[in-house]
Structure 1
Amino acid sequence: MFVISVILSIIVLHHDECNSHSMAAPVVPLPPPKALIEKGRNAKFTNSKHRMAVLVPYRDRFEELMEFVPYMHSFLSNQYVNHNIFILNQVDQYRFNRASLINAGFQLTKNNHDYIAMHDVDLLPMNTNLSYAYPENPVHLAAPTLHPRYHYEKFIGGILLINKEHFELVNGLSNKYWGWGLEDDEFYVRLKDAHLNITRPQNITTGTSDTFRHIHGTQRKRDTVKCYNQREVTRRRDRNTGLHDVKFEVASYKNMEIEGAPFTVINIHLYCNLTTTPWCDCKQQKSASNKQLQPHGKLPKAK
């Protein structure tokens, strides 16, 4: 565990050094090395017609990661699902963007996989009847009737399976969602606009307390801040951004193992257009507001 912790720290520190250089234009990412595809293959998958990329948006969730990787590798192997786990580690200084990380992860893995699982790192399936098999239509495994926390009808977050063709059809997810929440609600509208039927697990005898285990650390607060005109813009359907225009740079690929379970860390630097989504960095607005105040919070005198 200590060795992996040190390695992940080195990965992030290494990219922080790269951040000091000019970022005027994104670097075209290289395809994942063939080695990582071979790493996840074993004899029980030789007859699999499809391969799944488990795309896990990630930042500073080490405890959850240590539990997630070996658990999910075992769970999927027991279902004979040919899979590779990709930890999409956001290493820039902007607010977390789950949707853009998934868009980037899809671009990087689509040539070697037939479908993806958009998977939170803090949600573990407990019911073995939850199938991760190839989805003809989008499959929302973490259904509102099963998820331990979110129970509204249009919820499709947590764990969603979607094949490559359908993800491209809806242009992936919106890139406008910096900070926590709402990106999956917007994705729901995209799927409905494309007339895709979202299915959910049937004949599951467990419920909200025993279908999934939520392992989110209670000491970590979610980034729910809203700044600039973020609240207004992100309440509407985004018809401009998505899979086709996600801007990112890959710092490195790292093939790793936890308790013998293979996975790949992809260190990703996202780019933000401050003109269209200034809320990728709410600190700038706060800084600008502070400059307008005199010491002790007094307003400047009128001239």
Structure 2
Amino acid sequence: MTIFRKLFGRTRIFSVRCKRKVGTNRSKKCLVSITVMLFIVFVYQQRAQRFVHQVKSSALLSLNTTQSTFNLRSNTIVSNAEGPPIQPTLDLKNCSNNELVGPMAINPNITPNFDEVENASSIHLLKNGCYTPTTCIPRQKVAVIIPFKERDAHLKTLLFYLHPMLQRQKISYCIFVAEQFDDGQFNKAMIMNAAFEEAMKHDWFDCIIFHDVDMIPEDDRNLYVCGEQPRHISPAIDKFDYKSHYGTEFGGVTGITPAQYRKANGHSNQFWGWGGEDNDMEFRIFNSGMKIIPSPSKIGRYKMIVHTHPWKFSANKFPTRLNKTRVARAKTDGLSDLQYRLVGSESNPLYTKWFIDIRKIEVKRITLYIDDKPAMDIDIEPGKCRWERVEGKYLDFSIELTNIKEAAPLVER
């Protein structure tokens, strides 16, 4: 009855039964009653539809990670976050830009600790790196995906500036750090594909922001939201004197809706090492009938953290061959043939981290022979190797493999 009172106030719900005898006063009264009843039902059906629509809108704008529930009796949203109850979004107005500061003072060379990053973020920051405004209806619900490999210092610097900026933009967001689990060459594009699929399992998002860990935003007016076409959010970088067209139209920081990303079949899975995947994704977007909208260079400015590229991030050896086959690969290489394994996850107030295994060949054990005699068995675990110096000996080894996946063939045209 509580729900009916919310929908209909104190209107009495009644029914009318009529006999089929025509021409009597009773039948006339019955017809009048039916007409009145149908009118009342029609009017309150409209109220009911508006109410349900408002409740659905409220539910879509509430993060699943807060385990929020709408209480019809108290007219509040009860959250597991600390602090006062959140007022229902159906009573709130759309978020505005009145807290933006414009150009920000950025020092990409500082490396704050995680306590400093948390202190720079809002006290209302929810667990697992998710946040939603409590005083207004956010523009969009955004998943920020950071492909990651051994860049802890860069991650701290990025989060130090990124969390406060996104909160000033009044965006409902979650930050996901996607780390390649193995010690092999980095495949950023494949990690982004896997993180996209995990984000879609995690919650419903309007927008996906792919964010390089070494790119620090300089202006909070550059909103982290998606549009009718994919967005290049970082068109101007200090490393290239803030000149546009610095080699890719869709790299660094990009925004794309889930539907747009699936339409392009995601990124290619073939780019091992550094470089090439951004240009390939640019082609996929145009090949799918979409176009890329860059942010204005005046506000789409970024500082890049200076760093070196170890062998895991060495340049891709076959960019020309991959470029020749990109037309043939576009429909079959990407989300459509993605294979990965989620090894585990790690959560803290600043982000959720996923450990993603994308190895096509998994080495289970290596047996080392010295002078034809087995000398050592090495059980392979990522990040756990030991080295010994052996001189004047004949060395040999055998490798036991498991979980062998067949790579997709490259089609020449």
TM-score by length of 2: 0.51
Length, aligned pairs only: 232
Residues 225, 138 of structure 1: CA spacing in aligned structure 2 closer, same or farther, 3 A cutoff?
closer
Superposed, 1:79-94 pairs within 5 Å as 79-94=169-184
- The CA deviation string for residues 28-73 of structure 1, in whole angstroms up to 9 with x for no partner, is xxxxxxx967x51344476125211111110010110111123111
1:241 alignment counterpart: 333
Q: Which has the larger radius of gyration?
A: 2
Query: What residue is the counterpart of 2:343 in the other structure?
Result: 251
Partners of 2:337 and 2:298 lie apart in 1 by 42
Residue type of the alignment partner of 1:127: D
Letter of the 1:148 counterpart: K
Q: Is residue 112–residue 157 contact of structure 2 (8 Å, CA) maintained in 1? A: no
Matched with 2:315 is 224
Name the CA shift for 1:172/1:79 in 2 (closer, same or farther; >3 Å): same
- Residue segments in structure 1 that go unaligned for 5+ positions in a row: 5-34, 275-294, 296-303
- Does the CA-based 8 Å contact 1:123-1:212 persist in structure 2? yes
- 1:195: how far off? 1.6
CA RMSD, 1 decimal: 2.8
- C-alpha displacement of 1:93: 3.0
Change (3 A) 1:96 1:48: same
Contact 1:156 1:185 in 2 (8 A): yes
- The residue aligned with 1:23 is none
Q: Is the 8 A contact 1:45 1:82 kept in 2?
A: no
Structure 1 counterpart of 2:277: 183
Name the CA distance, whole Å, in 2 between partners of 1:241 and 1:270: 15
The 1:89/1:220 distance shift into structure 2, 3 A limit, reads same
1:67 equivalent in alignment to 2:157: yes
Name the TM-score, length of structure 1 as normaliser: 0.69
Q: Which residue of 295, 304, 324 maps to 1:214?
A: 304
Which one of 254, 259, 269 corresponds to residue 165 of structure 1? Answer: 259
Separation in 2, partners of 1:200, 1:247: 31
Identity value in percent? 25
Deviation of residue 117 (structure 1)?
Answer: 0.7
Deviations 1:138-165 (A, max 9, x none): 110111x556338446431101100111
Is 1:271 the counterpart of 2:359? The answer is yes
Unaligned runs of 5+ in 2: 1-110, 115-125, 363-393, 395-413
The alpha-carbon distance between structure 1 residues 67 and 3, as it changes in their structure 2 partners (threshold 3 A), is closer
Contact persistence 1:64–1:216 (CA under 8 A): no
Aligned partners of 1:155, 1:49: CA distance in 2, in Å?
25
Q: Check if 1:114 corresponds to 2:239.
A: no
